Amino acid sequence: MLVLTDVTKRYDTPRGPVEVLSHASLTLASGEAAAIMGPSGSGKSTLLYILGALEPPTSGSITLDGQNPFELDEPQLARFRNRSVGFVFQDHLLLPQCSVLENVLTPTLVDRERDAAADRHRAVDLLASVGLSHRLEHRPGELSGGERQRAALARALIRKPRLLLCDEPTGNLDRSTAADVAALLVDLHRREDVVLIVVTHSAPLAECLPTRYDIRDGRLTPA
């Protein structure tokens, strides 16, 4: 379960502190999903960074299955992000010099206790589930935009994370491809039984998810 409690984020500037997130709270259990919508500069990215344990809140707390990541030391925090959180971005961020299969396996490489054979088997299964069995050895430059985003989704799920965070995952896709990726995202999140949070400007994508929030001027409210 993901629990965000009364989270505020302020940044110090030469003109004084600027509050970009104000007393945000939400709770989602495994298998649940929510879309977060709001205009540029509303605090969406800051919220995503906090949820992904990339940036600590100024006040308030976040826990995932009872664990507050910001109570961990740096090595433990890095391990937490690698194992517990999957990220999908608007730009797929695939490594151009690596094959699709190698890209999906990238998050496993930092684990000294990894089971390489088991990781490869899961990667192949995930790529089959996103319709890319025929693309394992292709480079990202040989894929369509939708295929690259499907590969990025498989990569985000390779470590069996408890939380999947998506930042405008269909933002660079045409309407038809975006609809296909949105349907796949919802299907995979249910099969993998993860908490899913999608930050998006896309109303059609948001409508695919059962829970929706608006964020404006740093304030998160149910839609």
Diameter over CA atoms, the chain:
55
Domain 2-222 classified CATH 2.170.130.10?
no
CA dist., res. 154 & res. 180, Å (int): 15
Phi, psi (rounded to 5 degrees) for 208 = -75, -15
What is the reported pLDDT for 81? 94
What is the reported pLDDT for 85? 96
DSSP secondary structure of 20-78? EEEEEEEEE-TT-EEEEE--TTSSHHHHHHHHTTSS--SEEEEEETTB-GGGS-HHHHH
109-132 mean pLDDT:
92
97-105 mean pLDDT:
97
CA distances from 184 to 55, 92, 191, 218 (A): 29, 16, 10, 30
What is the reported pLDDT for 158? 96
Confidence of residue 161 (pLDDT cuts 50, 70, 90): very high
SS3 category, 12: strand
SS3 category, 85: strand
What is the reported pLDDT for 138? 97
With a cut of 90, say whether residue 5 has pLDDT above it: yes
What is the reported pLDDT for 114? 85
What is the reported pLDDT for 43? 86
**This prediction's pTM:** 0.93
Q: Which residues contact 125 (CB under 8 A, 6 or more apart)?
A: none
- Is 156 exposed, middle or buried (CB count within 10 Å of its CB: 0-12, 13-18, 19+)? buried
CA dist., res. 211 & res. 115, Å (int): 36
Contact 71, 93 (CB under 8 A): no
Contact 42, 216 (CB under 8 A): yes
Confidence of residue 38 (pLDDT cuts 50, 70, 90): confident
Q: What is the pLDDT of residues 41-82, one digit of tens each?
A: 888 889 999 999 999 999 999 999 999 999 999 999 999 999
What is the reported pLDDT for 41? 80
